[in-house]
Amino acid sequence: MLRLPPFTYHRPAGLDDALAMLSAHAGDVMPIAGGTDLLPNMKHRLFEPGHLVALKRVPELHGIAVDGEVLRIGAAETLHAVSVDPLVRRHFPSLAEAAGNVAGPQLRNMGTIGGNVCLDTRCTYYNQTPFWRQALGYCLKKDGEVCHVTKVGRKCVAAHSADTPPVLWTLGASVELAGPGGRRTVPVAEYFVADGIWNSVRERDELVVALRIPLPGPGLRTAFRKLRQRNAIDFPLLNVAVAVEMEDDVVGEMRMVVSALGSRPRAITGLADIAGGRRLSDDVVDTAAQRAFQQCHPLTNIIVDADWRRAMVAVEVRRALQGLA
C-alpha cells in the first residue's frame, strides 16, 4: 500500500485567503483542487508539500457563465460539470467532448478543469514508486541528474497529458491567473512551455482562477479526438483538437493542436495554405493529415511504441476533419 506523507490541510474561505496561505508557506505548499492527480503523485513521493491549500470551496473559482463576449469557466468547476454544461455544449462541443473523456466518471466528478490545465507532465520513468525510481538512479525531473528518454541531463521531455488544453488553445481561450502581484490573463497558446519539469508560465505562487473563451461566430466547427489504451479511463497517448471557421462549407481559418506527445501541446502550422478558401475534400483532409504527421515526433516518454503513435497522428487528424466535413 502507498501511503500519503503527512501534511496540513488548509481550507481558505476566499481567493485572497488562499493566496495568503500560499505565500505564508512558500516553498512547502501546493494548491489542491480535486486531488485526482496530486494525491497519487504525493503517494509516489513526487511531491511532498507540508501544506495543501484546498481550492474547491473558493467561491471566485466557481461558475460557468457568459461574461460580455466570453464564456468564463471557473477553475474549480469539475470536468463533469463542464462536459454537461448547456453553454459549453452549445458553443464549444469539442470542449465538452474533451472534458467528458478525461479519465473515468468518478475522477471527472472530483477532478477540475483548473487541475487539468495545471496537470503535471507524465513519463514512464517518473510516475512510479520511489523504490522503482531509485532502482534506476532517479531522473532529471525528480532527484536525479539524467533523462532516461533523451539519455542526457539537459532537458526533461515528459509528456503533457491533459485533454482540455489543446481544445482550449484551438478555441482561442485565455487563462486567468491570480498571484501576490495581482491578476493577469495569458492566452493558452502562450501558457505552455517546452520544459517537462514545469511546463507553463504560471508562477508557483499563482492560481488559475478561470478559463475565458471568446464566444464563437455561427461558422465555428470543432472536433476532438483522443487515442488511449482503455477508453474507460486512461490518459491520452495522443489527442487532436481542431477548430475550423467555415462559411458555406468553405474553410476560412483552421486551427489544429496536437498533444500528449511532448512537454506541451503543439499547434500544427501551414494549414492556411492547405485548407484556406477550400472545402474539406478528401484531398484537403489527406494533405492536412500528412502535414500534422510531418510536424509530430513522439518520444519514448510513454510506454507505447513511438512510431505507432506518430502514425496515428495522421489517422486521428483525418478522423477529426472527416467528422467536420
Residues of this chain that bind ligand FAD (CB under 6 A): 30-38, 40, 55, 75, 79, 102-103, 107, 110-112, 114-116, 118-120, 162-163, 207-208, 233-236
Angle between helices 282-295 and 306-324 (to 10 degrees): 150
Q: Is 123 in the site for ligand SF4 (CB under 6 A)?
A: yes
- Name 89's Cβ contacts closer than 8 Å, sequence gap at least 6: 96
When binding is defined by CB under 6 A, the residue of 11, 51, 148, 319 that contacts ligand SF4 is: 148
DSSP type of residue 200: B
For residue 144, which of 127, 126, 161 has the smallest C-alpha distance? 126
Of the pair 99, 321, the CB lying nearest ligand FAD is at: 99
For residue 198, which of 206, 71, 40 has the smallest C-alpha distance? 206
3-state secondary structure of 167: helix
Which residues from 300-319 bind ligand SF4, rule CB under 6 A?
Answer: 301
Region from 7-15, 138-146, 265-273, 274-282 binding ligand SF4, contact rule CB under 6 A: 138-146
Region from 8-16, 41-49, 51-59, 150-158 binding ligand SF4, contact rule CB under 6 A: 150-158
When binding is defined by CB under 6 A, the residue of 18, 156, 209, 320 that contacts ligand SF4 is: 156
Q: Is 140 in the site for ligand SF4 (CB under 6 A)?
A: yes
DSSP type of residue 112: B
Q: Is 196 in the site for ligand SF4 (CB under 6 A)?
A: yes
Q: Is 188 in the site for ligand SF4 (CB under 6 A)?
A: no
When binding is defined by CB under 6 A, the residue of 10, 25, 141, 202 that contacts ligand SF4 is: 141
- Residue that has been written with the C-alpha cell 498533444 in this structure: 259
User: What values do phi and psi take at 95, rounded to 5?
Assistant: -70, -40
Q: Is 99 in the site for ligand SF4 (CB under 6 A)?
A: no
Residue 298 binding result from ligand FAD, ligand SF4, none, given CB thresholds of 5 to 8 Å by partner type: none
Residue 158 binding result from ligand SF4, ligand FAD, none, given CB thresholds of 5 to 8 Å by partner type: ligand SF4
Radius of gyration, CA atoms only, the chain: 20
Residue 208 binding result from ligand SF4, ligand FAD, none, given CB thresholds of 5 to 8 Å by partner type: ligand FAD
Of the pair 160, 226, the CB lying nearest ligand SF4 is at: 160
Give me the least distance between CB of 208 and ligand SF4, in Å please.
23
Residue 257: beta bridge partners? 241, 267
Taken in order 201, 120, 266, 306, the sign of the CA dihedral is positive
For residue 197, which of 46, 26, 306 has the smallest C-alpha distance? 46
The whole-angstrom separation of Cα 28 and Cα 14 is 20
When binding is defined by CB under 6 A, the residue of 55, 147, 256, 257 that contacts ligand SF4 is: 147
Q: What is the greatest pairwise CA distance in the chain?
A: 60
The whole-angstrom separation of Cα 202 and Cα 186 is 9
When CB distances to ligand FAD are compared, the closest residue is: 115
What's the start-to-end Cα distance of the chain, in Å?
A: 50
Of the pair 78, 221, the CB lying nearest ligand FAD is at: 78
Report yes or no: 174 and 185 within 8 Å, Cβ to Cβ. Answer: yes
Of the pair 14, 217, the CB lying nearest ligand FAD is at: 14
Contact residues toward ligand SF4 (CB under 6 A) are 123, 125-126, 139-141, 147-149, 156-158, 196, 301
